[in-house]
Structure 1
């Protein structure tokens, strides 16, 4: 059935550009139209290497979304060395190249702690604590750091962060990653003498918070902070204290030196909010193939900051849609539900998430934990617009088959037979006799011959049908029948678009097969 299905032609030409209405048709897939509001429900592009993901599907997403009248800005994650130039080339064709800010090792940086403290929307200690907790998960994901696998250490590390941040804010009026690390490292312990305690950075900041505070705190808060550092943490068992401090330092190690220190712990030159306050496109250029784990960590931190800022923004003040674009998304996948939590509310935050990867297994392998498979499918379930290109992965084909579903299909069978039989025979004989008598003799002779020939024909046939429940799309179709573009395929890229609760006219179901022309997408 799949090989005879009608295919839709995916039109690159954008529609309805006169009015900035996200519900109006944006582009066509055959006889069907999709709007920006529909794309805000998320996009996932699955396809093998060389299937046309970047050159066709992602290029189309950039042209359609970034060229829409209701689009603001976004955040593009460049995971490969050539991604930056490819994205800039596409943006240039729609007149958005001047809105791009390239963020890389030599580009503008952000003081992560100070930004969260003074962020116009959200911010505060609670937001910083959540960010530090998520940074610890990111560090575990990309550096292989170990958090000892117990929620106790995470909670206790968060308590250290909370009291240190409150102390910094009261004494200096600002936050600093290096100062936060110094407070944690020099926190009083069981063996700290009175002289060392008086000379410690904790005591100096406590004294300033009491005598000359930048932001005054109530007396009971100051007493609580002093009691925590001098008693709760200060008299804790050596082994327990070491584990707590190690957990507290986990999200800070990478930000204290090297290129990440300049990028996230120095001065603030750029913030994620520019994507909607100034309609700028942040191009995060830390290619993982060039910078390794450092690039992955930097890209993941920017992705995390952008996601948290998008969730906190006021869409009444800034209603324009933004785009989070992440090719090879399995390389920068955030851990333990961060991605899924964001995607579940991205539509209300008016953010189009465009994710691309090779197959299902790449996503599963990028998620930590015993329930990685369930978490991967849960995340995929929140990305409503699913573009499937050529794929030879059996698990991906099985997932798509189950996603599209089965139907009652009729199978016809029949046969025909025909036969021809010929037979032929001959027979002959000779006979004679001699008779003697008194009157003389006589004789007789005889000869006989006969022949026969015959033939017969037979013909017959049978026909029947049966009904069976089978996959609507056979798994082998994705790797066998889908073209991957380039000169060998006349620059045609085939794919399948699935969207829940939507009926495509070509199939009468919630999916359709389509063909894209690379030359038109990139023209």
Structure 2
């Protein structure tokens, strides 16, 4: 559909960005003999390193420069205040400054989330995608858990909140000229609290929920078959099922929904995501780089939720595009990824190669990542997610869990132990006889010496865990700005090392 761009696609069309699309295209070299190609980038990249290890200024900067040079479009999430400035610098160095579009507090670029979803993901009877977008982002930042107290009933409140959204959004989308979060909140807040209230003339005259239901009924009576279907499917939910919920249960469900929506309806966030639309996630498919400069330090948890929503919309836009051999590769860049991860990421990582998407996730250590996932079996789920990154770079780190994991996935090597043993000794003997006519004596002495060699085989970690904390450089003047990492590729045998791992060095000044 046509969107009211004041910036964006037209600006890019004036100076189109060329790009590489072949999976065999080399993006950068690891050492002198090994090449990292587009197909490798499409299989996901995970970068781990302690604070000050050089993971962003070393391998991160080098990979980002290769993406920019290759003409990719992409989305950048910002956990820190300086992330957007870093990308401005990188884009300028690569000649891609005009490709950069930043959503920030200035309000220059905005997107009405509900309108966008209603016009794309929720078309043709898929209204449940509206609810999915809100709930995915809210769950990832633990807002729903906090709203319901984090108790054992949390799943019930979340499921019922989802049912409410799925029962309200199709009605609003049908009767309202513009779908807004504020109207969604008004609809839920004004829903009847009993069947008596639902039949009350006062409620029917003053309630926004009633107003929507009455408009829907009028459309149905006028012959609109879609309105009739919606009225049949959802009207009884609000007039009977929701109305007869216990006060405490209904209050908890409303609190859950309010916690999800309120932060998106006030202040600067509301201006950016609930007014008009000047830019959409699909713009990256034309070569744009969309930077979400709403760091947790400036916007708080609401900024994280907003970025989660836009990330999900971007993922869906990538997965909905027509697949063909010459489509422009896309990247998703998430430094401090523990702030932004959700269950949708796992699915996206599993299919990224098919859609020519190159996800890069950067974090400090595995315990931080596991803690962000939360819930039961967080460590096992975290390991399953990390396993989806076919390229993993391990920088200097003192975390024993991360270092042991890196050592384990690299594997063991057969070692040989040669043992030598030497033996020596002396021997002597004598004899004698005596008879009537003669006698005699005899004897002898000697020395013997031997040497034996034995070779024993055993297996030992190819890279010991303490190597990551003791041997890898972290850049800076004292290291001549050199940053070391161990890169591990699944099912790969690096030519230089003849193993699945390779020590590589990055120059912090190379792309500055």
- Cα separation, 2, equivalents of 1:224 and 1:290: 42
Q: Does 1:229 align with 2:238?
A: yes
Aligned to 2:24: 23
Aligned to 2:401: 395
Conserved? CA contact 2:488–2:502, under 8 Å: yes
Deviation at 1:57, TM superposition (A): 1.1
Conserved? CA contact 1:62–1:91, under 8 Å: no
Q: Residues 371 and 141 from structure 1, CA distance in 2 versus in 1: closer, same or farther, beyond 3 angstroms?
A: farther
- Cα separation, 2, equivalents of 1:143 and 1:150: 6
Deviation at 1:367, TM superposition (A): 0.7
Conserved? CA contact 2:122–2:128, under 8 Å: no
- Cα separation, 2, equivalents of 1:385 and 1:500: 7
Conserved? CA contact 1:36–1:65, under 8 Å: no
Aligned to 2:105: 105
Conserved? CA contact 2:26–2:37, under 8 Å: yes
Conserved? CA contact 2:46–2:386, under 8 Å: yes
- After superposition, the C-alpha distances for 1:249-268 in whole angstroms (9 at most, x for unaligned) are 34212112122222222222
- Cα separation, 1, equivalents of 2:292 and 2:398: 30
Deviation at 1:244, TM superposition (A): 3.2
- Cα separation, 2, equivalents of 1:313 and 1:121: 15
- Cα separation, 2, equivalents of 1:20 and 1:195: 63
Q: Does 1:242 align with 2:243?
A: no
Aligned to 2:95: 95
- Cα separation, 2, equivalents of 1:77 and 1:486: 26
Q: Does 1:135 align with 2:137?
A: yes
- After superposition, the C-alpha distances for 1:162-199 in whole angstroms (9 at most, x for unaligned) are 22112212212542110011000000111623321343
- Cα separation, 1, equivalents of 2:134 and 2:508: 43
3-state SS of the aligned residue for 1:482? coil
Q: Residues 52 and 414 from structure 1, CA distance in 2 versus in 1: closer, same or farther, beyond 3 angstroms?
A: farther
Deviation at 1:121, TM superposition (A): 9.0
Conserved? CA contact 1:135–1:301, under 8 Å: yes
- Cα separation, 1, equivalents of 2:78 and 2:277: 21
Q: Which structure has the bigger radius of gyration?
A: 1
Q: Does 1:82 align with 2:82?
A: yes
The one of 292, 315, 319 aligned to 2:300: 292
- Cα separation, 2, equivalents of 1:492 and 1:266: 47
Aligned to 1:46: 48
Deviation at 1:98, TM superposition (A): 0.8
Q: Does 1:175 align with 2:207?
A: no
3-state SS of the aligned residue for 1:106? coil
Aligned to 2:119: 118
With 213-222 and 184-193 compared, the bigger mean Cα shift is at 213-222
Aligned to 2:159: 155
1:452-463 correspondence to structure 2 within 5 Å: none
Conserved? CA contact 1:142–1:296, under 8 Å: no
- Cα separation, 2, equivalents of 1:46 and 1:38: 18
Deviation at 1:242, TM superposition (A): 2.4
The one of 252, 268, 284 aligned to 1:259: 268
Conserved? CA contact 2:134–2:309, under 8 Å: no
Conserved? CA contact 1:117–1:174, under 8 Å: no
Q: Residues 269 and 225 from structure 1, CA distance in 2 versus in 1: closer, same or farther, beyond 3 angstroms?
A: same
Q: Does 1:316 align with 2:315?
A: no
Conserved? CA contact 1:170–1:216, under 8 Å: no
> So what's the TM-score if we normalise by structure 1?
0.81
1:340-489 correspondence to structure 2 within 5 Å: 340-412=346-418, 465-489=455-479
Deviation at 1:413, TM superposition (A): 5.1
- After superposition, the C-alpha distances for 1:62-90 in whole angstroms (9 at most, x for unaligned) are 11112115x2x111112222222221111
Q: If each structure's strand is expressed as a fraction of its own residues, which one has the higher value?
A: 1
Gaps of at least 5 residues in structure 1 are 1-16, 418-458
Deviation at 1:209, TM superposition (A): 2.2
Q: Residues 347 and 136 from structure 1, CA distance in 2 versus in 1: closer, same or farther, beyond 3 angstroms?
A: same
- After superposition, the C-alpha distances for 1:339-361 in whole angstroms (9 at most, x for unaligned) are 21221112222211111111111
The one of 291, 294, 297 aligned to 1:283: 291
- Cα separation, 2, equivalents of 1:155 and 1:294: 22
1:182-201 correspondence to structure 2 within 5 Å: 182-190=186-194, 192=197, 193-201=200-208
Conserved? CA contact 2:216–2:227, under 8 Å: no
